A and B are shown apart, each in its own frame.
Chain A
Amino acid sequence: MKFKALTAVAALLAAPLAYAGGPDDDTLVVNEEVEMATKVAAPAHMSDTGIDTIMSGWHFRTDETQSLQMDDFENPSMIFVDQAVDYFETVDGTEGKSCASCHESVEEFAGLSATMPKMIDGKLTTMEDLLNSHRAEAMGAEPWKWSSAEMQALVALIGLQSRGMPMNVAIDGDAAPYWEQGKEMYYTRYGQLELSCANCHEENYGNFIRADHLSQGQINGFPTYRLKQAKLISRHNRFRGCIRDTRGETFAEGSDEFRALELYVASRGNGLSVETPAVRQ
């Protein structure tokens, strides 16, 4: 009886331990040529978080999911990125223009996404904001919805131009108050479950919640193809999902609150390579 119980306990203990153990030690190389910085020293502003190494969410996924991001022919995001190449050249709005009317090539945006969101004309501006303001002002076109297929495909295409470059968002100067707001949100325990971003992604990354392997919640791979949803997912959509899962009243995609949170979370990834478009579970 005792022996039997102990055996059962041992077997059960072995099961969770087999898939535990935090991030893996694999190396992310895309298309056998671009090596990504997926584990780097945490930025100085994180000195009081207890995290000294920041890590890509890629390290917390299964080998199968990881491999999808290592080859653009297998990366399901690329279907949408290809569509975005078409959107870039598609005329829309009252001015008879496309993106390509003003921008010779999407390649001119290399490096831009690594610095977003950023302050532009006194406003904290995300890539979605930038696209919609150009659509309105240069093209006379209707704004795209935040998480629409068109919007996220183009955000991904522009992000791809920075792939492999280190994230480097500014948090000082006139961005500072927004960064502080985002930081406060990160540590606020929302909803009936009273969970903050930090409860899971700072205190418990590497641990499993049921079948979910908690990452550091980095956004350097967004928009990311999420296998669960089978499409490109925006940063704000993921924020929304997390707050919803606290049994909380979430904020809207494109809200000032989520802009501030995006700046703060992006800054926790400063130094990691831009992985856009990543693949996650």
Chain B
Amino acid sequence: MRLTTITAAVTLVAGVAVAETVAPGDVQFTEYGEVTQSLTGQPGDAERGKTVFSSRSKGNCVACHAVAQLADVPFHGEVGPELTWTGEVRSAEELRGIVANAKMMFEGTVMPAFYKTTGFTRPGDGYTGKAAAGDLAPILTAQEIEDVVAFLLTLQEG
């Protein structure tokens, strides 16, 4: 009985450790701007990632990036590179780093950082034009980042 309880507790602790979310300020980037560790410990869901990528209220990635596989989504942008083949040329670690904070890999890039909460000039309260009331939430959650990375990895020709 006692032993079982301890075993259960140990299992629980182990489970929590694996599933712990990495806070925006704690993300570790490699010298090339990759993020090797999953932000949630949970696998990304490519279908959900597709929604995050396409939705104006989420990542709205399609505002700047064209993707041939998203034929049903109108108005693909041109500001960033086309991502139709990105799953063939980029690793999960690279993509996670780019989505979390692309400036760590590409200095001066126009691309916003989707998992960052500090260091902004005149941060606002969403799209109201007013000052932010408190600390900002990142644009995407840790799991949404993982989902987008999973979606991006599916972008391969053929």
Contacts and interface: CB of A to CB of B under 8 A. Distances in A.
Interface in A1-18: 1-2, 5, 8-9, 11-13, 15-16
Task: Determine the main DSSP class of B at the interface with A.
Answer: loop
Given A190-B121, A199-B110, A244-B127, A12 B66 contact: yes
A248 interface: yes
A240 B129 contact: yes
Interface residues of A, number: 38
A204 B109 CA distance: 12
A231 interface: no
B70 to A, nearest CB: 8
Contacts, number: 103
B23 interface: no
Interface string A179-218: 0000000001111111100011001100111110010000
A41 interface: no
Nearest to A210: B63
A194 B113 contact: yes
Interface string A40-83: 00000000000000000000000000000000000000000000
Contact of B124 (A1, A199, A208, A250): A250
A184 to B, nearest CB: 11
Given A2-B158, A12-B68, A192-B136, A207 B124 contact: no
Interface of B: 56, 60, 62-64, 66, 68, 71, 74-79, 84, 110, 112-113, 120-132, 136, 139, 157-158
